[in-house]
Structure 1
Amino acid sequence: MQTSIVCAAVLAFAIPAASAEQLDIMNSGGYTAAYLALKPRYEAASGDTLVTAWGPSMGKSPEAIPNRLARGEPADVVIMVGYALDQLIAQGKVDPASRTELADSRIGMVVRAGHALPDISTVEALKATLLGADSIAYSDSASGVYIERELLKKLDIEAAVKPKAHMVQKTPVAMQVAEGKYELGFQQVSEILPVRGATFVARIPEPVQSVTRFAAGIPVQARHPEAARKLLRFLAGPEARGAVAASGLDPLPNN
């Protein structure tokens, strides 16, 4: 029964080849693994082609989605951290009616493959692990901003840890850890799991966890808004849940 429902849902997005569109998508790191799994399925079912630009939801790098939009790069759909999307909506750059919630993301820790797995099963264990580490890295997107501005203060270890902490731009944190540049890395779990040479340790404890909701929207300058809405319905629908969960994200109850 479930298979037939999923098939029917996917077929509902199928459109005649004559009306197929090329959609420009901007996608941020945390949703990448789920998107890559869903992209070929959607293209096969709809006939549309998804051309993807990659970048963080925020930050100073030229690849960051707000900076791409500011330069006038084309986008029919943006997929990013929800509160960063809300900023674009407030600036009049994304249609507020198009805002679609996709998944929740939690922060995890990574070490280089082959290294012992530190204990972060409790808040006190996490605190001790951070204090004992030689170097720590986190991203310049939502997870890293939370760690730098809030988590270290909550644990009351900001003064001790800040000097050995590094915010990494563009490159996945787990990749830097895999190369031996940092002892510990923190990023959204969905960005850690695909990286070879690095081992996912665990999510940070729930009492100090930060849950980031990923959402998508349609820029007001989108060239194919109707086709974009079909894509958003697919990404937020039940047929996407399996890929979302497998990527390390948490599907939303209503999707």
Structure 2
Amino acid sequence: MTVKHRSIKFGFSFFAVAFAMTASGAVVANAQVPPPGCPTMPMGPGGPGGAPAGMPPQNPLMDNKVANAKPGEIRLMVTAAFMDPIEAVKAQAEKAIGRPIFVEYGSARGGLKDEILAGQDFEVAVLLPDVNAQLFQQGKLAPGEHELAKVDVAIALRGDVNVDVSTPEALKKTLLGASVVRYSPTGVALPTVTKLLNDLGIADSIKDANKRCAPPGPPSFAPPAPGEYEINLFPLSEVVRMKGMKNLGRVIAPFQVPEQINAVIGAHAKDRAAAEALVKFLQSAALDTPIKNVGMYRD
């Protein structure tokens, strides 16, 4: 199976940090993202997609090298939240459909959607219902969605502190006390993040916390100062693999918006039979354990 390496950033997702907002990057509130008119800060060592100094290396599947699909390969485009299950069964999938698979990971509401709208053909995509609705309206998808799994949003803590996220009041206090709150504006967690910040009445406080331009030069990613901490809001399937952070568990029920992840077939798939066989495999019991291992679940 060929894996396309894209230079996309997901905040701390995939152990990289995005500075400023990109098409598929992370919103970094309270610090690091300069307000309008402020200069954009440079990326870390290795160029776009590389991990900043002092941070763990980025997932090798998400570096800044771009590969091209080879003749005969099936193109599979996958939301980053579903990367681990795909990687766990890729060899089995190729054997099941009898074709090599070219995999491209990215942001469902960002880079992947934009690429498909721009004319990229594919056999199968693993995306989100709202994205699929937009793509179908534009004639990019064959009829039908195929449910794969659901995922909740979790909270990852960076910093040597104890915080409480067990009640709405405690969660509000924890978010407002964070030096940084990170999430992706095009990611799977967005509905939960939006509901969480709006229902708690702190959306403007989080987004407007940093009013001044950051100092010149690259930001520091040293551990938070004593007593300080950072909060990251991402799908549980991504939080479970984050290094150097504490998984505080799922966002509590009043604010949780579980996200359905579905497979769809491209309207212009070159090999419809192989696409249908791949979707059937992705819905099979072969993925039950990989899905469970990253905190996802099936109804």
Gaps of 5+ in 1: 1-20, 166-175
- What CA distance in whole angstroms lies between the structure 2 residues aligned with 1:179 and 1:229? 48
2:150 to 104, 109, 112: 104
Contact 1:142/1:212 (8 A) holds in 2: no
Cα–Cα, structure 1 residues 117 and 201, in superposed 2: closer, same or farther, change >3 Å?
Answer: farther
1:41 to 92, 95, 99: 92
- What CA distance in whole angstroms lies between the structure 2 residues aligned with 1:77 and 1:36? 15
SS of the residue corresponding to residue 207 of structure 1 reads helix
SS of the residue corresponding to residue 109 of structure 2 reads coil
Cα–Cα, structure 1 residues 139 and 51, in superposed 2: closer, same or farther, change >3 Å?
Answer: same
SS of the residue corresponding to residue 51 of structure 1 reads strand
- Write out aligned runs for 1:152-167 (5 A): 152-164=197-209
- What CA distance in whole angstroms lies between the structure 2 residues aligned with 1:228 and 1:117? 48
* 2:193 equivalent to 1:119: no
SS of the residue corresponding to residue 43 of structure 1 reads helix
Cα–Cα, structure 1 residues 240 and 147, in superposed 2: closer, same or farther, change >3 Å?
Answer: closer
C-alpha deviation, 1:129, in angstroms? 0.7
Deviations 1:37-81 (Å, cap 9, x if unpaired)?
12122223443211111211113xxxx112111333331111111
C-alpha deviation, 1:123, in angstroms? 2.0
Q: Scaled by the length of structure 2, what TM-score is found?
A: 0.66
1:137 to 182, 185, 188: 182
- What CA distance in whole angstroms lies between the structure 2 residues aligned with 1:73 and 1:92? 12
Contact 1:138/1:186 (8 A) holds in 2: yes
Cα–Cα, structure 1 residues 90 and 71, in superposed 2: closer, same or farther, change >3 Å?
Answer: closer
**Structure-1 residue corresponding to 2:270:** 223
- Write out aligned runs for 1:106-255 (5 A): 106-112=152-158, 115-146=160-191, 149-164=194-209, 183-251=230-298, 253=299
C-alpha deviation, 1:108, in angstroms? 0.5
Contact 2:153/2:236 (8 A) holds in 1: yes
- What CA distance in whole angstroms lies between the structure 2 residues aligned with 1:179 and 1:246? 30
Contact 1:82/1:101 (8 A) holds in 2: no
Contact 2:108/2:188 (8 A) holds in 1: no
- What CA distance in whole angstroms lies between the structure 1 residues aligned with 2:91 and 2:195? 38
C-alpha deviation, 1:247, in angstroms? 1.8
C-alpha deviation, 1:115, in angstroms? 2.6
- What CA distance in whole angstroms lies between the structure 2 residues aligned with 1:117 and 1:33? 29
Deviates more, 1:230-239 or 1:36-45: 36-45
- What CA distance in whole angstroms lies between the structure 2 residues aligned with 1:180 and 1:76? 43
User: Which structure has more helix as a fraction of its residues?
Assistant: 1
Contact 1:85/1:216 (8 A) holds in 2: no
Contact 1:135/1:164 (8 A) holds in 2: no
Gaps of 5+ in 2: 1-71, 211-218
Aligned structure 1 segments of 4 or more residues deviating by more than 6 angstroms: none
Q: Which amino acid aligns with 1:141?
A: T
Cα–Cα, structure 1 residues 148 and 188, in superposed 2: closer, same or farther, change >3 Å?
Answer: closer
Name the count of aligned residue pairs.
Answer: 215
Contact 2:121/2:266 (8 A) holds in 1: no
Deviates more, 1:132-141 or 1:178-187: 178-187
SS of the residue corresponding to residue 58 of structure 1 reads helix
Q: Which amino acid aligns with 1:52?
A: V
C-alpha deviation, 1:148, in angstroms? 5.4
Cα–Cα, structure 1 residues 179 and 102, in superposed 2: closer, same or farther, change >3 Å?
Answer: farther
**Structure-1 residue corresponding to 2:82:** 31
SS of the residue corresponding to residue 197 of structure 2 reads helix
C-alpha deviation, 1:221, in angstroms? 0.9
Contact 2:154/2:235 (8 A) holds in 1: yes
- What CA distance in whole angstroms lies between the structure 1 residues aligned with 2:290 and 2:92? 11
- What CA distance in whole angstroms lies between the structure 1 residues aligned with 2:287 and 2:193? 32
SS of the residue corresponding to residue 83 of structure 1 reads helix
Contact 1:117/1:201 (8 A) holds in 2: no
